[in-house]
Amino acid sequence: MKTVKVGLGTCGISAGGDKVYKAFQEELKEHPHTFKLQETGCIGMCYREVLVEIFDGNGSPYIYGEVTPEMVTRIIEEDILNNKVIDEWLVTGEGREVSFFDKQKRIVLRNCGIIDPGSIDEYIAVGGYEAIRKALTKMTQEEIIEEITKSGLRGRGGAGFPTGVKWKFARNAPGDKKYIICNADEGDPGAFMDRSVLEGDPNAVLEGMIIAGYAIGADEAYIYVRAEYPKAIARLRQAISQTKKKGFLGENILNTDFNFNIKIKEGAGAFVCGEETALIASIEGRRGMPRFRPPFPANSGLWDKPTNINNVETLANIPWIIINGAEAYAAYGTDDSKGTKVFAMAGKVKRTGLVEVPMGLTIDEIIFDICDGIVDDKKFKAVQMGGPSGGCIPASMGNTQIDYQQINKTGAIMGSGGMVVMDETTCMVDVAKFFLTFTQSESCGKCTFCRIGTKRMLEILERITIGEGTMEDLDNLEELSEQIKAASLCGLGQTAPNPVLTTLKYFKDEYIAHIKDKKCPSHVCPSLLIYTIKDNCTGCTVCAKACPTEAITGERKKLHVIDQDKCIKCGKCFTVCRFDAVMKD
């Protein structure tokens, strides 16, 4: 009997996955016992959702892409009932999009899009919870920490601190009560790595937390997850319930004296709560604001008890390392950065979605070999790494390796793993303004330099994008950046200027064009655009009818003109013209 798996991560659902799943359910009523229907998470190919995988138990499974409810009947009749693969709908298989997976190494995403995330039995069937069994029965707490340390795993939440060292600090901290916290407060624009892992393989994260708890001597844990992730929260609640019933959570786990429980705390979406001390304050019921360190959470964290905090991706690595060994994990990556890294690919790439690659691959390899290059084959211009805390890396540095040190040298940071790819139509001044708008609005307000400094920087950028900037503004941006980085209390303020500093470093000519020429080279900033009508105007009057200020005049079937004093730069004339007669400059 064939198995039909429908991708029902958030990306699949938003593309209509629920409707496709219901269509298969209806077909199953018409053809009972002909196939088994399951749901699964995101396999990473978000750009081809809705994805439907067919597996008959023999040979390799294959995937149909961009499936609609209307396609389901044909899949049933031709594929399920008559074993005839529908070639034109395939996205995987010989000669197709296999290159998307060729250079990937899936450790964190090993089960995402493969198993039913709502079934603990399927997780167990692929080796799930064997790591906790090994850890509790065959390893000491010190041996576990040593294994994680030898693996070279560094925190995947952004800072890149060695995970084993972090665990050792919490293990050695005095205290009769200790906590584990999973940081799932994923807030970077364009980032969805943690969400997809929680939706597609929640048990891997739970198992990582249980192992971490045993290693440091904790008996209680919290998952701090964004309330905007309802599917992930539902998956976690289901997984926690099933894990308790199987005896992997609760009292006397696997007949040992180890007790461990996990609770979920829903965050209200404050970006600053991704910072450890602000996150702790939020769990305790206080306003999410960072505090001075030391003391560090490893010594005095949640309710002043020793606390270890890791993000989703870090914890999902743990079971694989325990089962396969530190050397197997360290075999991937570079001397400085071991293992793999998950990236959320967004922006102007042809293949948007999730990729997991060994550290050491270059930016160009990810964008061109895995993600198939830029949409409409336009010119690759830059990639934003590290979200609002990161920076823009120009296309000329596309051979930069994915490595903590190498990325830091560019002025960006690895961050949690968001990659926003930009093409030649992107205005880098506008990009800097976008990210600074985000960090300025997300500042908790505790630090004067962060609260007021980012506001002043944003005001300067807004002046530049409307043609009212001065060359002195560029010096002021750099000076403010250095002051904010030096005087802010937490990572949000300390890294907020990075998008501005990197765009100034690599794309200063665009700033100068906005200031001196009063032009936006990418034709993005509305206030700097001039719309004119070319000689090939047919006089159809469509643009004149669309203009909200009656700035366009002319007789029917004759050349029209735009009154620049009345033009409000809305761009409607450019959008509605069917003859390419309106030009923006």
Determine the pLDDT at residue 190: 83
pTM over 0.75: yes
In this prediction, the residues of the chain whose per-residue pLDDT falls under 70 are 93-97
**Cis before 108? omega within 30:** no
Determine the pLDDT at residue 253: 97
Q: Check: CB of residue 143 under 8 Å from CB of residue 135.
A: no
Determine the pLDDT at residue 94: 59
Q: In which residue are the tokens 């916290």 written?
A: 181
CA dist 460 and 512 (Å) reads 13
CA dist 564 and 420 (Å) reads 35
Determine the pLDDT at residue 492: 87
Torsion of CA 185, 188, 191, 196, to 10 degrees: 10
Q: What is the pLDDT of residues 253-292, one digit of tens each?
A: 999 999 999 999 999 888 899 899 999 999 999 999 999 8
Determine the pLDDT at residue 500: 96
Candidates 270, 199, 272, 188; CA nearest to 229 is 199
Which pair of tokens denotes residue 408?
């830091």
Torsion of CA 336, 342, 345, 346, to 10 degrees: -100
Q: Please provide the DSSP assignment of 355-380 as one string.
A: EEEETT-BHHIIIIIIS-SBGGG--E
Q: What is the 3-state secondary structure (H, E, C) of 205-259?
A: HHHHHHHHHHHHCCCEEEEEEECCCHHHHHHHHHHHHHHHHHCCCECCHHHCCCC
Q: What is the 3-state secondary structure (H, E, C) of 542-554?
A: HHHHHCCCCCEEC
**Domains of the chain by range and CATH?**
2-97 (3.40.30.10), 120-329 (3.40.50.11540), 340-423 (3.10.20.600), 428-517 (1.20.1440.230), 529-584 (3.30.70.20)
Q: In which residue are the tokens 């709502």 written?
A: 118
Determine the pLDDT at residue 96: 65
Handedness of CA 191, 194, 198, 204 (dihedral sign): positive
Determine the pLDDT at residue 544: 95
Beta bridge partners of 37: 4
